[in-house]
Each structure stands twice: as C-alpha cells, then as structure tokens.
Structure 1
Amino acid sequence: MLKKSLIILFLLVLCGLVAYFSLAAKYNYDVAQNYQYAFQNSQHTVIHAQIKQGEFNFDSVPNWDTGFIGLNVSATLTGYFAEPYVEIIGGQQHSILSFERGVQGLRYINLPSGIGYKDQTIRLIAHHLTINDQQASIVLFTNPKIHKQAKVLVIAPHPDDAEIAAFGLYSQHNSLILTITAGEAGPHIYDEVYADENQHYQEKGKLRVWNSITVPMLGGVSPEHAINLGYFDGTLQQMASNKPRSVHSRFTGIDNVNHFRGQNLSSLTPLSAGKANWPALIDDIKQILQDYQPDIIITPYPALDWHTDHKLSTLAVISAIKQLGLQQGQLLLYTNHLTANNYFPYGQQGEQVSIPPDFNQSLYFDSIYSFNLPKPKEKILVLEAMNDLRNDTSWLNISGAFKIFMTTLGNKLLFKDQTYFRRAVRANELFLVVNFSSLYRIETINSLNH
C-alpha cells in the first residue's frame, strides 16, 4: 500500500514539474503576473462593474468601438494542462478569449463592440478557469472611424506580413501595401525543386515578391497599390548600423534591389539606383508618403516584435514621417512575432486577439483599436495564397509527407502550433494606436523601441 502511494505521489510530482517547466518554456514569463497597461496616456473612459456569478451589466458611453474588462482570473488544475478560456456572451454576440495555461492574476478581456446598453446582462463562462465575484474596471476606447475615403498604408517587412496582421482591415478600405524586403531568406524549403541553394533563394525571392504584389488583389487592392521595394531579407539591422554603407543579400549575393523591385507593376514604385542602404530606404518611404499621403499607417510595434526587420521597418517609417514633418495621421501598430514568445495570440482559430502582454506599463499608445472581421475564416484562403506559409515541398514524397503529418499532429496535441493559420485567422485584428504628433516626443520613441 505504501509503495503504491509513493508511486502515485512520484507521478503527481513529476506531472507538476512537467507542467511547470512546460509553462516556463512556452511563455518565457511568469504567467502569475498581472497585466499592467499605461492607460493613463490614452484617451479612454473607465466604467466600473460588479461581477457576480459570472454576470455583469453596465451603461456604456455612446459610440465606443473597442473595450476591455479587467478581471482577476485563476486557472483551475486542468488549466495547467489545457488552455483556460472564457466565453463572453451579450445579446446576440458571442466571443472566446484564451489565456496562458496556469494563468493567475489580472487580465483584460475583449468586449464585443455594441454590448453594454442599459439593462443588458453580459455573461462570462469560464473553462479551466475561475472568475470570482469582484469589482472590475471596464476600459472603453472611441476611435475615429476610418472613413471610406481614408488612405491606408500597410507596411509589410516581408511578403505576407500585411495579410497576417491586417488583411481584414485593409480589404475594407482604400489601401496601399508597401513590402520592404523580397523575403528571400529563411529555410531551404524548396530543396526538392531546387538543389542549388543560390538558385533556390533567388527563386524563393522572386516567388514571394510576386505574392506580395498579387495576393492583395484578393482584398480588392490592385497591383498599382501593391509595391515591393526589393530590399534584402534579414539585412535591415546591418543597413541601420552602417547607414551610408550598402549591403547585399545574405543568401544570394545579389547587391541590387532592382533585381526584385523590377517585378512591380505600379507607377508609384520609387526609382532606385539599386543601392541597399539605410538612406535609400528612408528616401523610398518618404516618396511613398508624399505621393500617397496616407491617413493611417499600419506597421509593426518595434518593442513588441522580436524580428529585427519588423523593428527597423517601423523605425524607418518614423524617421520618414519626422523628416517630412507630418503631424496629421495615426500609426496602427501590430506584432506578428511577439517578443515574449512565438505562440501569441493564445487560443484557437476564430477566437479573439487580446492586447499583447505588458507587465510594467512600458507600452505607449494613444488608443487601442480592435477591428472585427466580417468573415474571419476567409483569411485562410488569403494566407494559403502565400507560398511561404504553406508546408514545404517535402510533402512530395511519402517520407516527407509522413514527417509533416507527425509534426503537425504533435504540435496540435501539445499546444505548440505556431502557424499563422491558428494565430492570424481570428475574429479581430488588434492594433495599438499612436498619433503622428506623439512621435515628436522622446519618451514616446523610447517606449516604442524599449
């Protein structure tokens, strides 16, 4: 009997250790920390609500479009091994938001826009999660509506970044997609087709540039409004650190951006001497800003995105804005590669995207904007049209196809699915908003790039 008890105790301890270390490896931060945001810097309204048995109601301000309720939540035992999530139900609206396994503390839960009128009860149904009775704060943002005539410029550091972050939004407006690099770098995924690596990466770049010009057509954007500048994937840090000096492609040796830029069909394509250096990139962006005169620029949040091309793309845009002295307009900032971990946003396809984690009010924003996709799953077809997001060509043989199957199955079962088909096909696209006028304050720049 004692031996059996010891074995059970050993297994429980072992399971606990596995759960603990799997959480540390997955999230790279303590999931028991409170999320803390610098709401005091933004234009918003705070309303208090009493949560009782998972229900609450509130009288909202008129015309708000993005809202969050801050709640203290706690994962149950099963919430260490399965993702905890909450269903938010109000009237005819229903949404789901997932948290980290083992979550403890303050989290901000998206509220479907339009709920909260007088006497409407909103229900929170917790799964693998406990939400105790508590007084909660509701934070509401009223963003200027992006009118149909507004010009939206989407900055994509690589082909597919625009679609991952903002296809739903850009397809609803007058948009121009500006892709910074050809996207020729990365894994040798077409080795079954191109054995020679140099040829592989040249063809990969050519294919991805073509994707960046043509896929936006699925969102109503013509090739006249889809431009690839042809800079080289993974080289923006080198360009920024050695500003006058030109670089070449790390994978192909090509040193002329016109090799890829020549595929553009747009008359708005900046003319280039072919040099891949930082001043040339700034000049290219300045020309687009002057010619297109966007009201909204959608671009990565440098402090939230670990990819250096993403960070530097936005810093180049900010430099161009400030050199031109632009004051009227807004940046809508996204992350496709969260600095903390590559699994964010948490949960499954079709769920809500939450505000990215912040634990010390380090992120600056003037507002937060959540754009609800009319038909979220249509985004699957857009991502599928991007060659680099598909399985590599190893599926052409039986052993390769079996390996892909086993990897995919394992990632699904162990909650390690990092594909954009899970992460980007969501009910909403979420952006931290920064006004052009705020970019002239040093504290804003420090926060964006901390």
Structure 2
Amino acid sequence: MKHDKTELLRQHRRNKRMMLFAAAAMLLLSGVIAGWWFVPLFALGLWLSHEAWFSDHLFYSPRSDYHFALAGDWDRTASIESGQIKLAGPLPAADTLVFSCRIESNLAGHFLDPWLEISGQRFHFERGSRGQRHWVMQQTNEMATAENIKVHTHHCQLHGPLHITGFRNPDFSEQRLLVLAPHADDAELAAFGLYQAAKDVMIVTLTQGEVEAGHYETLGLDPAQASRLKGRLRTWDSMAIPLWGNVPQTSCLQLGYYCMQLQSMQAAPEQSFGSRTSGECDTRTARQWNSLPLPGDAQGNPTWRNLVADLAAIVRHFRPQVIILPHPQIDPHPDHQATSHALQAALQEISDRPASHFLLYANHLHNNDRWPMGPAGGGITLPPRSSAGQAERFWLRPISDAAQLDKAMALAMHHDLTTPQPWKRAFRRKVQQLLAARRWPRTGENEFFRKAVRAGELFSVHTTLDAED
C-alpha cells in the first residue's frame, strides 16, 4: 500500500485545523468590518458550507487522473460528439466493458456531484473532478449492434478520445466458490449477489469482529462484556445470514480469530494473540456451529500457524475453482490484507492447487471513503488510483433490482450495520440532501447501504495469487 490511511487521516486533520484557523481569522475580520452581530451568522454559514461541500474524506485532488493498466481482450477508441459516443463499428463480444476518458466538472459540478448516464445506468464522480476516469458496464445489446451510443452528462463534460476495453470472462457463478470474509459482513458487502446465484459456495469468516462495542455498553455492560456480546452476535451473523442468499449453515465456517490481530499474528506466527477488548484467547468459543473439523480446533490458540493451517485444510476439503478475497493492493484494512496474505501462505502448503481464478474485492479504500460514489442502485467506477501497477482484468457481475433488495435486506440483518448513526453524521446528511442534492437509501442508515448495493458487483480477476498481488 503506497499511502498508509492513518498518515492520510493525519494530514487531512492537519489541513482541517489550518482551515479552522483561517475561518477564525475571517470571523474576526467580519466582526471588525460588518459588526459583531454578523459573526454568528457568518459562522453558521461557514459551518453549513463545510458540512455540505467540504466534509468528504478525499485524500487526493479530484483534479488528478486515475491510473489503471487494463489487460483486456480487446480495445477500441471512440470519439464523443453531440452527446453521443461515435464508434467505428459494433463492439466485439464481451461481458464487461471499461470506459476510460477525461471528465471535467463545470461550475455546478463543484457543488453537485457530476454524473453521466449510458443505457439507463448512472455513474457518479467527485465534485470538482477534472481528470481521467473509468466506469464499468455490462455490455448491452445496443452496444453490440449500434455504431453510436447516447451519453447524457450532468454537471460535467467528457473530453475524448474515449477508450473502451472489453473483457471476456467465464460465468464464475457456475463454478465452485470459496468466499473469504475477514469480518462477518464482508461476504455480503462484496459478493452477496454472486453467491446468491451460485450453485456451490462455501463462506469462511476469519474473525469474530468483537471490537468497537461501545453501543452495547449502553445495555449496562462493561467494555469486556460488551465486546464479548458483539463477538457472539457477529459470529451468529456470519453463520446465519448467508442462508438468506441460499447458502446453508453447513456451508459456512467461522474461524474465531480476533479482530485487528491478524497482522500481529503474521509478525509472530507462533504467538497467540487474544482479543484486544473481550479478554478471550480461545478461537473454539466461536466455532461451535462449524460442520468441518479444523486443525485450530485442537487447542484453540489464535496463532498465525493455526490460521494458515485452517485455510489450507479448507481449500483441500472444498477444492474451490474460484476463491473470492480482499484485494491486498487496494483494500487497506489490516485484517483484509492479512486475510490475503494468510491465503497465500496456505496455498504454498498445497501442492495441487484447485483454484483457477481469484476474484479480488475492495470494501474499503485508503483515499476515498465515498467510493463507489453516487446513490444506491447506481453504476460502479474504478476506484481512485495514483499509479497503474500491474495490468488487471475486471469482471462485473450484474445484479437485478430484486437481488439488490435482497442484498440490502442481508445487510440489514447484520448487527454491526444497524447501530444508530452519530448525530453529527445524521445532521450532515440532512444538510447535504438540502444543499448538495445527495440521496441515501431507505433500507439502512449505514453508508454501506449506499456503497455496496449497486447494479453490479466488481471484481479484479487473477489467475495466480502471488506476493506482488
């Protein structure tokens, strides 16, 4: 990971403090010039402006380019004229298309989210965007036959040339899938639509997710008791909620390791790392519903050696054709990165590797807390990236309206996604609804109800999972 999110947050807060000092100076100046009665009104205006237009956690300039190297099956170049994408001819067959061109926000696009619409699907970008962007679509019948594609832009303009990259992927839902979820909700956030449609799935959750249990302290519990309760609830979530997506409990495994401890385990493979908050140090307390005996069951020690051995045993037993897991170069969460590293170590212990493909997902970004941008049900853009890295393939698995509702309801079953939002966040949303025309779904208050419930689920497709991945 090129930029550590903690450092980016530190820089962001430092910039906010500088803005606060500048605002204080402006308030003093306004009091001297216009009178002190004006100061409260000016302060209120500054605060509302901040909440509406300057509170997004973007740790990069929206005027910068996104950089991706695409390993597509074909590439085409088109022009943009009079609201149409002019093609030289019908596009070749593909299941996933990545469109790439330069976008430039107009004046309104600095205050309202800019977006474009193609074939009834909308793609949103950062306010003030001015640079190379990429959006992902399933190829439609219109695109396969037409020479011109209508595109409607709002609060922005597109500047050609426009590059279209096509990807031909197998239908991975027809294959045997192993979904690795660092926490109880990650499988649903990243791949509910995929695993709901799949014929043969196993879902493995690595941690109990017991940290940040302050909400449960309101029940009169001390911090350790609240943490243990949250761990029990999320363990239950990991085993029960997949049934809503047609995956029975017998196809789910909970490994019971402890949240935010996986990287420490990796650094000292033989050492046990118990919970930071619950006081527990035995993974077996969370494995009571598992249908498959695992090496870590013997003593219940939360060690890296046991985690790797557990994953190796699962792969040997289930023999997945496709493994779905976090993208270690895009998703910065420590447990998500450690999950990928643990699988790499487990695969090294298996001489006959059954998996032919790895589908990588990102439920978190280090530089943008709003991606994917725009309301629920919209399209997906590629995430912001400052350097291209190795060439990648992508697969967009489309999700019907009915499946999107099912996914939202699955998220609503997760205890960690239904705790009340802080009053400041709720107020900020009201301000942004009024002044910035933003919308959130009624299915849930958590931001993931907006970000994760989309017209498709996006995966980076790999045939190997090496250290550099």
* Coarse TM-score class (shorter-chain normalised): 0.7 to 0.9
- Residue 347 of structure 2 aligns with an amino acid whose one-letter code is I
- The reply to whether residue 346 of structure 1 matches residue 373 of structure 2 is yes
Deviation at 1:410, TM superposition (A): 4.6
Cα distance per residue 1:18-69 (max 9 Å; x no partner): 78x9669621011111222122xx2421011121112125445544111022
Give the CA RMSD over aligned residues: 2.8
For residues 255-266 of structure 1, the aligned pairs below 5 Å read 255-262=281-288, 264-266=289-291
Q: Which residue of 1 aligns with 2:76?
A: 47
**Identity rate of aligned residues, in percent?**
29
| CA distance 1:292–1:98, change in 2 (3 Å) | same
Report the counterpart of residue 431 of structure 1 in structure 2.
459
**In structure 1, what residue type is equivalent to 2:415?**
N
Q: What is the Cα deviation at residue 334 of structure 1?
A: 0.7
Confirm or deny that 1:190 pairs with 2:216.
Answer: yes
State the distance in 2 between where 1:187 and 1:84 align.
Answer: 37
Question: One-letter code of the match for 1:84?
Answer: P
The answer as to whether partners of 1:23 and 1:102 remain within 8 angstroms in 2 is no
1:324 maps to 350
Q: Which residue of 1 aligns with 2:243?
A: 217
Gap change, CA 1:105 and 1:410, over 3 Å in 2: same
Query: Which digits, 9 at most, give the CA deviation of each residue in 1:176-218, with x for residues without a partner?
Result: 1100001111241122224322111111100100000000000
Contact 2:213/2:227 (8 A) holds in 1:
no
- Equivalent pair of 1:66/1:111 in contact (CA under 8 Å): yes
Distance in structure 1 (CA, Å) of the matches to 2:115 and 2:356:
36
TM-score, normalised to structure 2, is 0.82
- Matched residues in 1 for 2:391 and 2:308: separation? 24
Cα gap change, 1:403/1:68 in structure 2, threshold over 3 Å: closer, same or farther? closer
1:56 corresponding residue in structure 2: 85
Query: What amino acid maps onto 2:362 in structure 1?
Result: T
Indicate how the Cα distance of structure 1 residues 416 and 315 shifts in structure 2: closer, same or farther if over 3 A, else same: farther
Q: Distance in 2 between matches of 1:117 and 1:179?
A: 40
Divergent runs of 4+, >4 A = 21-25, 402-405, 410-418
Residue 171 in structure 1 maps to residue 206 in structure 2: no
Counterpart of 1:409 (choices 430, 437, 444) is 430
Q: Is the 8 A contact 1:332 1:433 kept in 2?
A: yes
Q: How many residue pairs get matched? A: 413
Query: What does residue 397 of structure 1 align with?
Result: none
Shift of 1:357: 1.7
Q: Give the aligned residue type for 1:344.
A: W
SS at the partner of 1:371? strand
The superposition leaves residues 339-360 of structure 1 with CA deviations (integer Å, 9 ceiling, x where unpaired) of 1122211111110121122222
Q: How does 1:266-345 map to 2 (within 5 A)?
A: 266-267=291-292, 271-325=297-351, 326=353, 328-345=355-372
Q: What is the letter of the counterpart of residue 450 of structure 2? A: R
Compared CA separation, residues 313 and 411, structure 1 to 2 (3 A): farther
Say whether 1:74 aligns with 2:100. no
Q: What is the alpha-carbon distance in structure 2 between the residues aligned to residue 245 and residue 321 of structure 1?
A: 21
Match of 1:361 in 2: 388
Secondary structure in structure 1 of the residue aligned to 2:144? coil
Q: Which residue of 2 aligns with 1:153?
A: 178
The answer to whether the Cα contact below 8 Å between 2:274 and 2:302 also exists between their aligned partners in 1 is yes
Q: Give the unaligned 5+ runs of structure 1.
A: 395-399
SS in 2 for 1:309: helix
| Alignment pair present for 1:36 and 2:62 | no
Shift of residue 79 of structure 1? 0.8
Q: Which whole-Å CA distance do the structure 1 matches of 2:432 and 2:254 have between them?
A: 33
1:64/1:141 contact within 8 Å kept: yes
2:231 aligned partner, one-letter code: G
- Looking at structure 2, the residues matched to 255 and 328 of structure 1 have their Cα atoms a distance apart, in angstroms, of 32
Q: 1:135 aligns with which of 161, 171, 175?
A: 161
CA distance in 1, matches of 2:96, 2:324: 17
Unpaired runs of 5+ in structure 2?
Answer: 1-29, 35-41, 441-445
Aligned partner of 2:358: which letter? L
